[in-house]
Structure 1
């Protein structure tokens, strides 16, 4: 089973590059199977990590909350499990 953890934050205006740098330098121990980082308009940063686990596995490493000087609001987090795509 594979579970994906999504972490999304919106930077303080003009600090999108700083938040992106912060997010890409946060280690996870142990490391995930895969990790991708994205950016979007309005200084948003998204990190998706993939784990060999199921939806309810406790204790998977997640990125922490950045400092209040970097983000406008609390980080949004979601957890998804893989499903057969039917093809």
Structure 2
């Protein structure tokens, strides 16, 4: 089964580039099948990782929370399982 972890943070206004750099530099303890990093308006950064694991696997590595001075609100995290590939 493929499990996707989504991590999204919103930077303090004007610090989106720093948050993006921070997120891209984070190394997970094991490499995912795939990792994509995105940015969006309002200094938001999104990281999506794909894993060969079960949905409830408690040992999937997650990105940490960035330093408090970079973020304007707590990090949002979601977990999804693949149901079909088009």
The two structures have a TM-score, normalised by structure 2, of 0.96
* CA-atom RMSD in angstroms: 1.0
| Cα deviations by residue, 1:8-64 (Å, 9 ceiling, x for unpaired) | 000000000000000000000111010000000000000000000011111111110
Following TM superposition, where does structure 1 have runs of at least 4 consecutive aligned residues deviating by more than 4 angstroms? none
User: How many equivalent residue pairs?
Assistant: 86
Q: Which structure shows the higher helix fraction?
A: 2
Structure 1 residue runs without a partner (length 5+): none
The SS at the match of 2:17 is: helix
TM-score (norm 1): 0.95
2:67 aligned residue: 67
Identify unmatched segments of 5+ residues in structure 2. Answer: none
- Structure 2 distance, partners of 1:46, 1:8, is 4
